[in-house]
Amino acid sequence: MEKLAIELNKLLDGTIAANLLSELGKNYYFPKGIVAQSAEAKKYAKRYNATVGMAYREGSPMHLASIKQFVPDLKNDEIFSYAPTAGVLEFRKLWKEEIISKNPSLNGKGTSLPVVVSGLTHGIVTIADLFIDPGDTVVIPDMFWGNYRLIFEVRKKAKIVTFPFFNSSGRLNTAALEETLTSTVKGKKIMLVLNFPNNPTGYSPTVEEAEDLVEILKKAASNGKEVIVITDDAYFGLFYEDETYKESIFAKLADLHDNILAVKVDGATKENLVWGFRIGFITFAGKSLTEEQYDALVQKTMGAVRSSVSSSSKIAQSLLIRAMKNSSYNEEKQSAFSILKERYLTVKEMVKDFESNTLVSPLPFNSGYFMTFSVKKRKAEDLRRYLLMNRGIGTISVGTDYLRVAYSSIDKKDLKDLYREILKASEKI
Ligand SMILES: Cc1ncc(COP(=O)(O)O)c(C=O)c1O
């Protein structure tokens, strides 16, 4: 094993993070190669800096005027240069401040500095690299973002174990989670992925359900299980009901138990409405982890980033830094939230029309971008195809029994028509 990896492993020795690392994770380190040497040169090479693989002219990155003309307000360095492997430091600090302000119960708890990745997908893959060995089990609710299968099963050769997301009262099925953690998962290591607001259902736990969930994880940890929880917070903040728990479960787990490592994967993708920018973050928290140990985890994550995408988009980071420091940033985000909430309220009203329908019924939803219908006596795919081919309406079928509607994509004025069409189609097919 490379010397630098051994040093990082030594720093982590005795922590939950060390116990959970995969073989690949144990081997990761951030080399003192080109990136580290050019960072050093940036400081000390006062005459000529001939380190990094870029082209400069009179101290500024060379570039095409045809590109520059469209972003006149950014400096050349903000547009064209490489970003550091872990992301622009200022951006990482701003994001950390924002995480704390959106999750006040994190105040006073330790976390790593967030590491910038190329979108949440890349964040999840990176964590999978660090912590999953072939054959490991990953626990997720049975309503999940389909890409998890490709990431965990196909790519990482792990085994996905699901538990029913809802109980018979339409609440988060924490009892099923507990049963899965205690009976189904063999061995010490547990990897759990939580995604609230959930894709595809659009459900987030109530305050009480969040507390139950956390108690269950604490119990598992107290019984000697070594638990890593990834909170996929892609749709964070889009909570529309008073009773909903409004922070990330990550905030509750951050200092819960020595046997729990919490990993927050979040990003600008949906939170800042920049889907194609490809900017996400990974943040670690664990009860007794020290600053030095957080740094060791960040170094390992940088090794994973360096060996996959090398670094994330610089122009996207620069634009987001400028936006986050802009005086109207919070107001603009609030206004986007209000538009989505109005759509949610309209859909809530519309789904009342489905109450007496025996063929399609809405699953509980209270947050995020989506709601899902449970389709009975028919295949969801047949309903989807009918809507698409006969009515010109695109939806997503999930497995054989569910139809997901991204009402976030439809203007409020069109929502009534859309839901009337779905109702009619369900009766017709
Ligand atoms: C639950 C969930 N996680 C992650 C992602 C991916 O985010 P990104 O586009 O930043 O990779 C999505 C996108 O649809 C999602 O629904």
319 and 419 co-located in one domain: no
Mutate to test the pocket of ligand 1, among 117, 118, 121 (most ligand atoms within 8 A of CB): 121
Q: Would residue 53 count as lying in a domain?
A: no
207 and 162 co-located in one domain: yes
pLDDT in tens, 325-377: 999 999 999 999 999 999 999 999 999 988 888 899 999 999 999 999 999 99
CB-ligand 1 contact for 397 (6 Å cutoff): no
349 and 417 co-located in one domain: yes
Q: Would residue 409 count as lying in a domain?
A: yes
370 and 276 co-located in one domain: no
Q: Would residue 292 count as lying in a domain?
A: yes
Phi, psi of 106 (to 5 degrees): -80, -15
Q: Would residue 317 count as lying in a domain?
A: yes
pLDDT in tens, 269-308: 999 999 999 999 999 999 999 999 999 999 999 999 999 9
Q: What is the CATH number of the domain that holds 21?
A: 3.40.640.10
319 and 343 co-located in one domain: no
Q: What is the CATH number of the domain that holds 402?
A: 3.90.1150.10
289 and 345 co-located in one domain: no
Q: Would residue 37 count as lying in a domain?
A: no
CB-ligand 1 contact for 280 (6 Å cutoff): yes
Query: How far, in Å, from the CA of 145 to the mean position of ligand 1?
Result: 8
Average pLDDT over all residues of the chain: 96
Query: How far, in Å, from the CA of 136 to the mean position of ligand 1?
Result: 23
Q: Choose one of 298, 324, 350: the last residue of a domain.
A: 324
Q: Would residue 46 count as lying in a domain?
A: no
Number of domains the chain contains:
2
Can you give the residue range of the structural domain that contains 105? 3-30+85-324
pLDDT in tens, 163-222: 999 999 999 999 999 999 999 998 999 999 999 999 999 999 999 999 999 999 999 999
Q: Would residue 178 count as lying in a domain?
A: yes
**Residues ≥6 apart with Cβ < 8 Å to 321:** 88, 90, 91, 94
Q: Choose one of 324, 340, 357: the last residue of a domain.
A: 324
Q: Of ligand 1's atoms, which has the minimum distance to the CA of residue 280?
A: 10
